[in-house]
Amino acid sequence: MPTPLPTFDDVLAAAARIAPYAHVTPVLRSRTLDEFAGCSLLFKAEPLQRAGAFKFRGACNAVWALDEAEARKGVVTHSSGNHGAALALAAKTRGIPCHVVVPEGAVAAKRDSIARYGATLHACAPTIAAREATCAQVQRDTGATLIHPYTDRQVIAGQGTAALELLNAEAGIDALLTPVGGGGLVSGTAIAAAAMAPGCRVYAGEPEGAADTARSLAAGEHLIDFVPDTFCDGLRGTLGEPNFRLLQQHGVEVFTVSDADTLEAMRLLWRCLKLLVEPSSAIAFAALLQQRQRFAGQRVGIVLSGGNVDIDALPWSVA
């Protein structure tokens, strides 16, 4: 039987639960980018969230939703970086152990963040199967609770709090855009938007080299058999099953974007917002630029998901 999907009540509960620990991030504006895009842009600046990404919202909600007996045994996850760091920090706020399975080849800056926040790292091969097998073994060895990066109900609800804040702060938003990888952020965003601004459409940007979400929605079935090929290291995971159901339910549309266009959008954001934004985050803005005519004259919210960039290996330096 499918796991019950999170609801707007879960998002509201998450907002209350994480309030003592998570930042309310600012909404940034740029006249230059408005003119360039042909619409009014509202950037939710999640690179300024704790641990440098929106992922802290979901991880924090999941950690503090555990009962005391579960929490004492700790938490475990698999992550290429941002969710691992977020879970490590969230576990630290509660004083419980955290284990993170990290695939070989993960961005050094993200891997270092996980370690800095106090997690125990476990290396694995860079495949979803290897991640899940290693995670399962750590669970058996430690009794830790699995906090999945994007299919966990509490994680999805926590991610929805970014859109909740944005929609509370800014009236009359016509559309919301986020990146999509596993689907936690866009799922939570869709739940929040449906309840708070029913006329607001939700869209996502996805790398051409990891476009399982776009293919799944087009086919009407969950298709996850692919090998990712993209600079957007945070978007290489497969779309989660509950996330797929939520995207279908809320009519989310996905635009696929080339890495070249994503990197150009990243440059623009750095130059105009003066904000450190990673490729996996910039893709939402790249998707909007690709679809200028669709959003012309509208008021558009963009969730900039994170800013954990390895500054010693900037993507335009190694492309």
Structural fold of domain 56-146:
Rossmann fold (3.40.50)
d(CA 90, CA 4): 24
Digit-by-digit pLDDT tens for the chain (319 residues) are 677 899 999 999 999 999 999 999 999 999 999 999 999 999 999 999 999 999 999 999 999 999 999 999 999 999 878 899 999 999 999 999 999 999 888 777 778 889 999 999 999 998 878 988 999 999 999 999 999 999 999 999 999 999 999 999 999 999 999 999 999 999 999 999 999 999 999 999 999 999 999 999 999 999 988 888 888 888 888 899 999 999 999 999 999 999 999 999 999 999 999 999 999 999 999 999 999 999 999 999 999 999 988 777 777 665 4
d(CA 217, CA 137): 33
Q: How far apart are the first and last CA of the chain?
A: 45
Strand 40-45 and strand 27-28: the pairing is antiparallel
User: Where does the chain hold its CATH 3.40.50.1100 domain(s)?
Assistant: 8-53+153-318, 56-146
Give the model confidence (pLDDT) of 160-176 as tens digits.
999 999 999 999 999 99
**Looking at residue 1, what is its pLDDT?**
64
What angle do helix axes 212-219 and 241-250 make, rounded to 10 degrees? 60
**Looking at residue 112, what is its pLDDT?**
87
**Looking at residue 318, what is its pLDDT?**
55
Give me the CATH code for the 8-53+153-318 domain, please. 3.40.50.1100
Q: Considering only CA atoms, which of 312, 317, 319, 318 is closest in space to residue 109?
A: 312
pTM metric for this prediction: 0.95
Burial class (CB in 10 A: 0-12, 13-18, 19+), 221: exposed
